Structure 1
Amino acid sequence: MLRLLSFVLLSMLAFLALSACSSKTMPARQSLLIINQDFPVQETWEARVIFTDSGKIKATIYAPHVAQYARGGNTTEKHLDGAIEVHFYNSKGEHSSRLNARRGIIYPNNDIEVFDRVVMVSDDCTTVRTEYAKWTSKDQKIRSDKFVTIRRPTETLSGYGFESDQHFKNYRIFKATAVMKVRQAHEE
């Protein structure tokens, strides 16, 4: 019995030794690094992003979470989620308006799209509500092709399609559906 066990053990060792000396080459190892458009290459929490032009602050974004995605070459998109807030500044660097939304995307050209419960408020109390808006950094305008409501102290406008400067001083609705004037109560 001991001889049989010794023979089996020696046979197994010989088989292992001979198979280890095979001349077959091992296939090249695959990289464990996966860079895919569906996975972020970088994440940041409690982020603040500042946009400047010629040394002057144009906008500041605050976001609870930012995920950066590779989009081919050296380009990336920053996806913002949580209660994001954007502050806009005039040419003198003074605060002029703010924008709140649930999520957004910053593109490589610094354009920003925001989605879900978008509320924009100027320092003169003009309020714009919509579900989608896009700020283009080149002309610093905000646009939406969705339903919007604009409230000012003296009127409320609503309709589809919207364009404005980032300070909400000069705006227009493309397909107005309602205009309501608000009468001020006169004090006696």
Structure 2
Amino acid sequence: MGIDELIDEVIEREGGYIDHPADTGGATRWGITQATARAQGYLGDMRTLPREEATAIYRRLYWLRPGFDRVAARAPDLAAELFDTGVNMGPATATGFLQRALNALNRGQRDYPDLSVDSRIGPVTIAALDAFLATRGQAGEAVLVKAADALQGERYLALAERRPANEAFLYGWLANRIG
């Protein structure tokens, strides 16, 4: 699935205008928060944020800037998972999940050195991903997706435990964002 289809899925899942009182992100449209829209130059009412503007923001901030397009060239299912996680938790969090998983799966640094979990996809992270995939093959990509899902699920539970108002979202997060 390409980035256009991934963005369409996110927009369909996120829906139109929402301003849930328990959501610390505030008003959103198409899943784009007002703060993000403003930072990207949109000054209009969030109720009328054009879908095309949301699509451009997703592509720019949640696909190209974090480097998920480079992951997609090697592991498209993993890139799709990172994109979706990045939309919900931030691209740096998604990238950190990948780096942590790569570190835990490098067999005591026999396959490649541990990464600094800096939440950036640079040449060292790409080299580690390449080495992992060369060693583990196609099945390795599915394992990385499962590891990212596990870390994401744990974070959702922790968010609900730390802030009871997040319990309003936990069921949907687990049902719609994991797996």
Same fold (TM over 0.5): no
Relative to the length of structure 2, the TM-score reads: 0.24
Relative to the length of structure 1, the TM-score reads: 0.24
Larger Rg: 1
Query: Comparing both structures, which one devotes a greater share of its residues to strand?
Result: 1
